[in-house]
Chains A and B, each alone.
Chain A
Amino acid sequence: MSETTKRPEHWRDDHVTGEGFRELTTLNLGPTHPATHGIFQNVLTMDGEVVLETEQTIGYIHRAFEKICERRPFYQITVLTDRMNYCSAPINNMGWHMAVEKLVGIELPKRVEYMRVIIMELGRIIDHIICNTIICQDAGATTPFLYVYQWRERIYDIFEEICGSRLTTNIGRIGGFERNFNDKVWERVRAIVRDFPAVLKEFDQLIVRNRIFMDRCINCGPISAEKALQYGLTGPNLRAAGVDYDVRVADPYSSYEDFDFQIPVGKSGDVFDRFVVRQEEMRQSLSIIRQALEKLDKIADKSTFRADVPEWVLPPKEEVYNDMEALIYHFKVVMAETNVPVGEIYHCVEGGNGELGFYIVSDGGRTPFRVHFRRPCFIYYQAYPEIIKGGLLSDAILTMSSMNVIAGELDA
Chain B
Amino acid sequence: MPAFKIKADRDQLTVDKLTGRFGPGSFTHERLYDTLCFTVPKEHIHDVLAFLRDELDFNFLTSLCGMHFPGLELELGAVYFLHSMRNGHRIRVKTHVSLAEAKLPTVTDLWPTANWMERETWDFFGIHFTGHPNLKRILNMEDFPAFPMRKDYPLEDPTRDDKNDTFFGR
Contacts and interface: CB of A to CB of B under 8 A. Distances in A.
Interface of A: 58-59, 62, 64, 66-68, 70-72, 102-103, 105-107, 229-232, 243, 245, 250-251, 343-346, 348, 355, 357, 359, 361, 365, 367, 370, 372, 374, 378-379, 381-383, 411-412
5 contacts: A66-B149, A67-B149, A71-B169, A374-B63, A379-B116
Contacts of B120: 378
Given A67-B149, A367-B170, A359 B81 contact: yes
Contacts of A346: 35, 81, 90, 92
Chain B interface bracket (under 10, 10 to 19, 20 to 34, 35 or more): 35 or more
Given A70-B170, A359-B65, A59 B85 contact: no
Contacts of B155: 67-68, 70-71
Contacts of B111: 230, 232
Contacts of A68: 155
Contacts of A67: 148-149, 153, 155
A367 B169 contact: yes
A59 B139 contact: yes
A250 B112 contact: no
A332 to B, nearest CB: 14
Given A66-B149, A230-B111, A357 B62 contact: yes
Given A346-B90, A382-B113, A229 B67 contact: no
A379 B67 contact: no
Contacts of B72: none
Contacts of A345: 32-35
B62 A343 contact: no
B115 interface: yes
B34 to A, nearest CB: 8
Q: Which of B5, B60, B68 has the most CB of A within 10 A?
A: B60
Nearest to B169: A71
Interface string B3-41: 001000000000000000000000000001111010000
B117 interface: yes
Given A355-B62, A370-B67, A379 B139 contact: no
A69 B21 CA distance: 39
A250 B1 contact: no
B141 to A, nearest CB: 8
A64 B149 CA distance: 9
B143 to A, nearest CB: 13
B111 to A, nearest CB: 6
Contacts of A251: 5, 88, 90
B102 interface: no
Nearest to B165: A71
A295 to B, nearest CB: 19
B97 interface: no
Contacts of A382: 113, 115-116
A165 B148 CA distance: 32
A4 B81 CA distance: 69
A250 B34 CA distance: 15
Interface string B138-170: 111100000011000101000000000000011
B79 interface: yes
Interface in B65-96: 65, 67-68, 79, 81, 85, 88, 90, 92
Interface in B33-67: 33-35, 37, 59-63, 65, 67
Interface in B89-128: 90, 92, 111-113, 115-117, 120, 124
Contacts of A379: 63, 113, 116-117
B170 A365 contact: yes
A58 B139 contact: yes
A367 B169 CA distance: 7
Contact of A411 (B1, B88, B139, B169): B139
Given A230-B113, A344-B32, A382-B115, A361 B81 contact: no
